[in-house]
Structures are given as structure tokens and as C-alpha cells.
Chain A
């Protein structure tokens, strides 16, 4: 009887809850960057093989999201932003999230191996391991640099997409990785400046909680400066070209300006305008990444027609 009462109180898990377990919004970034990695590679791939490969890369990303929700259910329950996720809300049992995560990880890796190649599958398996074990289980609750390390997990998809086409790694795929890796800290830290209460409640040592907001503002500036050469360097490789470079210069100037404005402000100024600059930089950072990968794609299309490229 008790079990039945619990179910009726918390609600039955619907199919949509299992989809939510796979973090579809994160998945959309995985799909986009992996697709760009695959399409800009110099080796053409059969469209159906490309489609299924992207699908299984996305599934692998979703599976790691489910495993993350299983592990982080306790802190998700404390944060306003995450408390309605299926596990902390009680719609899906933690053990069920674990089972779904492990099963989908296995399916995604094996199917990517069959669809593309063993190297791409191994890279996907490593990405899942890195996100779940290294980031979620080990470093997220241990160090204020958690987001720097976590950023690596989100940076692998274009490398996997490239590996689907080429079966290996190259300077181009490493630079696409580095672009997302260096972009993640200023992106998330600008969010954490105005979502700080959530992380404080959950006890996650995000930089503003552990080291203070002033240090966080300085970190955003430093990481944005470090991001610029990485973004520009990609423009001089085989996947770059004048269109990419022009786009990248404009976007990097914008991001640098935003980071500089965040750095120059203090909490009194930020609270006075409701963190307007921080919110604006956060939104710009999303556009920054989307347009950089869009520019890679535009270069590939232009190259196909004998235009652009070096």
C-alpha cells in the first residue's frame, strides 16, 4: 500500500520524463558540434551512416546526462533550477536512472562502433567515463575549477564527429575541442555570478562560492583572453578561411569587451542593475559558440563550391 501511495503522490514517470533524463538541451549542443566536426572533415561519409553516427553520439551524451542525474540527485534537489528534474522530483527512481544511463551508454558506444569505427566509439566511451566519473563523481564537489575540467567532456563531440569521418585525430579536431574547452569556463562562470544562490544552497564549490565573486570576475577575463588565440588559430587550419576568421575576430572582440566589463564591475554595480551585464555576456557566449561552429560549416560549404578556404 505504501508503495502505491508514494507513486500516486509523486506521479507516474511518463515517456517525457525519460527524455528529460537525457538532458535534451545539452544534447542539442552535442548534436550541433558533432555534426559540424563530421561535416568539415575532409573525408565524405555516407549520409545515412553520418545520421546514425550523430544519433548515437547524441544518445551517448544523453546517457551520460542520465548517469549525472543519478549521481547528483541530492544536489539537484537543493537547486531551484534543477529540483524539478525527474529523479529529485521523485518521478524516476535513482536506480532506474542508473540502469537507463548504463544501458544507453552501452548501446550508444557499440552502435557507433558498428556504424562508424572503433576509434570514434572509444572516444565516445571515454567522453561518457570522463563526464560521469572524472567530473560528476570526483571533481565537481571537490574543486572550484570543476567547470574547467567538466568543460572537457562537452568539448569532445566535434572530435568524435571528426573521428567518425577520418578514424583519427588531427590539429583541426584538437582545435575544435580546445575552442569549446576554453569557452566553457567564462560561459558558466558568467552564469554562476547571477545563479550563485543555487550553488551556495547545494554546497557545490563553484568559483563564486569558494573563492568569491571578485576572483570569478578576474577568472572570466583571463580565460576569455586565453580563448582568443585558440579561436583564431582554428581559422588558419584546413577547416578555417576568411569567412571564419572575420566572424571569429568580431565575436572575440565582443566577448573580450563583455569579459572586460564584467571584470571592471563590483557586486554593488551588478546588484543595482540586476546583473544585466553578466546576463548579457552569458547570452552572448551562447551565440559566440554557435556562430563559430556555424562559420566552420559555412567555410566547408564554400570550399565545396571552390570558394573560400586557404
Chain B
């Protein structure tokens, strides 16, 4: 099955579609990086140890 040829609109908007794609990729990278930074700098979560539960 052959792909349909690009509509003229696709050619005309190629530049802005690529720009938007790059913007979204950067946004994803920022959210990911922010998550890593938050996890690394946030309060350290610690599971309650078994020995604590026994002594209580």
C-alpha cells in the first residue's frame, strides 16, 4: 500500500511542526530531569525496619 502524497499544507507547516516536536521533546526531558533532581534532593524515604517493629 502506497502512502498518500503529502498535502501542500504539510509542506507549508513543516517548519513549525518540527519546532513543536522539538519543544515537546525538550519539555519531556525537562520533566524527566526535574523528577530525577527532586528525588535526589528531596527528603529521604526510609522503610520502617523490622527490628523497630519487634521492640515496639
Answer whether A15 and B15 are a contact pair too, CB < 8 Å, given A48-B37, A49-B37: yes
Is A52 an interface position by the 8 A CB rule?
A: yes
> How distant is the Cα of A114 from the Cα of B13 in the complex, in angstroms?
33
Instruction: List the B side residues contacting A49 at CB < 8 Å.
Output: 34, 37-38, 41
Question: Cα distance A114–B27 when bound, in Å?
Answer: 14
Q: Are the C-beta atoms of A52 and B34 separated by less than 8 Å? A: yes
- Is B30 part of the binding interface, using a Cβ–Cβ cutoff of 8 Å? yes
Q: Within the assembled complex, what's the spacing in Å between the Cα atoms of A46 and B39? A: 11
| Residue ID in chain A nearest B9 by CB atoms | A12
Whether the Cβ atoms of B34 and A115 lie closer than 8 Å is: yes
Mark contacts of B18-31 with chain A using CB atoms, 8 A cut-off: 1 yes-contact digit, 0 otherwise.
11100000000010
Query: Chain A 31-53, CB within 8 Å of chain B: the 1/0 string?
Result: 00000000000000010110010
Cβ of B7 < 8 Å from any Cβ of A?
no
Residues of chain B within 8 A of A52, CB atoms compared: 30, 33-34, 37
Contact check, A48 vs B12: say whether CB atoms are below 8 A apart.
Answer: no
Inside 8 A of A271's CB, which chain B residues have their CB? none
Q: DSSP class of B's interface residues: helix, strand, loop or mixed?
A: helix
**A12 and B34 within 8 A (CB):** no
- Assess whether A253 is interfacial by the CB under 8 Å rule: no
**A46/B15 in contact, CB under 8 A:** no
What size tier do the contact residues of chain B reach? 10 to 19
Nearest-CB distance from A59 to chain B (Å)?
Answer: 10
Dominant secondary structure at the A interface = helix
Residue pair B37, A46 in contact (C-beta under 8 Å): yes
What separation, in Å, do the CA atoms of A46 and B38 have in the docked complex? Answer: 9
Is A276 on the interface with B (CB-CB < 8 A)? no
CB distance from A231 to the nearest CB of B (A): 35
Considering the complex, give the chain A residue whose CB is closest to the CB of B38.
A49
B interface residues (Cβ-Cβ under 8 A, vs A): 12-13, 15-16, 18-20, 30, 33-34, 36-38, 40-41
Q: List 20 A-B contacts (CB under 8 A).
A: A12-B13, A13-B16, A14-B16, A15-B15, A15-B16, A15-B19, A18-B16, A46-B37, A46-B40, A46-B41, A48-B34, A48-B36, A48-B37, A49-B38, A49-B41, A52-B30, A52-B34, A52-B37, A55-B30, A114-B34
Interfacial residues, chain A to chain B (CB-CB below 8 A): 12-15, 18, 46, 48-49, 52, 55, 114-115
3 interchain residue pairs of minimum CB distance: A15-B19, A48-B37, A15-B16
